[in-house]
């Protein structure tokens, strides 16, 4: 018979009521809130959250451009998924795909002036939704500690920890 380690035993112990409540609340919010934000942005602007994500990340990058692989990694998306989003934005003139000048193999997504204008149009709707559906409910909490905790468990989960 194989003995369980202390960590395995702790991990197999049922959650206490507060832990269970926190987990279920987080899991529900992580599904419901993005769906609501997406619906609001789509209704107001015909823009999907993944498209908004690409526009924001490119607007914040040096020269408004990122390697496709970096853009995919930032969104925890596959390269094929981010390629579909970038292609859709490119068809609308919001993003361009160009070869990476430093190695010629990689592709860059580059935010166009039209893409920046689109982001400026959509941003207030997204901001209002985030404030209404998330931020107002966090009043009184230590937001730095909250952000650090969420970032830690997201990072560890990505790394398989």
- Write down the domain spans for the chain: 34-158
Nearest-CA neighbor of 115 among 123, 126, 124, 106? 123
Beta bridge partners of 110: 65, 96
Q: What confidence score (pLDDT) does residue 12 get? A: 84
Per the CB < 8 A criterion, the answer to whether 76 and 95 are in contact is: no
Q: What confidence score (pLDDT) does residue 1 get? A: 42
Strand pairing report for 95-99 and 65-67: unpaired
For helices 49-60 and 17-45, give the axis angle rounded to 10 degrees. 90
Q: What confidence score (pLDDT) does residue 76 get? A: 84
Residues 145-154: contacts with CB within 8 Å, 24+ apart? none
Residue at token pair 């398989």 = 160
Contacts of 58 (CB under 8 A, 6+ apart): 64, 65, 66, 71, 95, 109, 110, 111, 115
Question: Is the pTM of the predicted complex or chain greater than 0.85?
Answer: no
Q: What confidence score (pLDDT) does residue 7 get? A: 47
Q: What confidence score (pLDDT) does residue 155 get? A: 85
Q: Is 53 left (phi over 0), alpha (psi -120 to 50) or beta?
A: alpha
pLDDT in tens, the chain (161 residues): 444 444 455 678 999 999 999 999 999 999 999 999 999 999 999 999 999 999 999 999 999 999 999 999 988 899 999 999 999 999 999 999 999 888 777 899 999 999 999 999 999 999 999 999 999 999 999 999 999 999 998 888 878 86
- What's the rounded Cα separation, in Å, for the pair 129 and 152? 25
Domain covering 34-158, topology = Arc Repressor Mutant, subunit A (1.10.10)
């Amino acid at each position: 018979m194989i003995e369980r380690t202390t960590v395995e035993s702790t991990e197999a112990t049922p959650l206490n009521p507060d832990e269970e409540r926190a987990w279920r609340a987080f899991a529900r919010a992580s599904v419901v809130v993005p769906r609501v934000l997406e619906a609001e942005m789509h209704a107001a602007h015909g823009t999907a959250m993944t498209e908004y994500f690409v526009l924001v990340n490119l607007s914040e990058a040096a020269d408004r451009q990122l390697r496709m692989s970096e853009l995919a990694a930032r969104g925890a998306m596959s390269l094929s998924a981010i390629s579909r989003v970038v292609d859709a934005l490119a068809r609308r003139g919001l993003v361009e795909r160009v070869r990476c000048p430093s190695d010629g193999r990689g592709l860059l997504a580059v935010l166009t002036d039209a893409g920046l204008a689109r982001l400026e149009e959509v941003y207030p709707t997204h901001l209002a939704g985030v404030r209404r559906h998330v931020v107002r409910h966090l009043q009184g909490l230590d937001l730095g500690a909250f952000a650090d905790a969420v970032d830690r468990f997201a990072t560890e989960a990505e790394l398989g920890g």
